[in-house]
Amino acid sequence: MKEVKDFDLLKELNTNPNRAMEYLIEQYTGLVYSIINSKISSVGTAEDVKECVSDVFMEFYRQAKQIDPAKGSVKGYLAVIAKHKGIDLYRRLAGTAIRNVNMDETYERFIDNKLNPEQEVIRKEQRNFLLQAIETLGEPDREIFIRKYYLGQKTKEIAEALYLRDNTVDKKISRGLKKLRILLGGVVHEGAEDNLLTK
How many H helices and E strands in the chain?
Answer: 9, 0
CB 32 within 8 A of CB 57: yes
Q: What is the pTM of this model?
A: 0.54
Class of domain 101-195: mainly alpha
Residue 50 is predicted with a pLDDT of 94
Q: Higher pLDDT residue, 65 or 152?
A: 65
Helices 141-149 and 103-110: angle between axes, nearest 10 degrees: 70
- Each residue of 109-130: pLDDT tens digit? 554 455 455 555 555 565 666 6
Radius of gyration for the alpha carbons in the chain, expressed in angstroms and rounded: 23
User: Taking 50 as the threshold, does the pLDDT of residue 199 lie above it?
Assistant: no
Instruction: List the domain boundaries for the chain.
Output: 6-98, 101-195
- The pLDDT confidence band at residue 96, using thresholds 50, 70 and 90, is low
CB 111 within 8 A of CB 120: no
Among 1.10.1740.10, 3.40.50.300, 2.60.40.1120, 1.10.1660.10, name the CATH number for the domain at 6-98: 1.10.1740.10
Cα distance from N-terminal residue to C-terminal residue, the chain: 52
Residue 52 is predicted with a pLDDT of 94
- Each residue of 38-59: pLDDT tens digit? 888 877 889 999 999 999 999 9
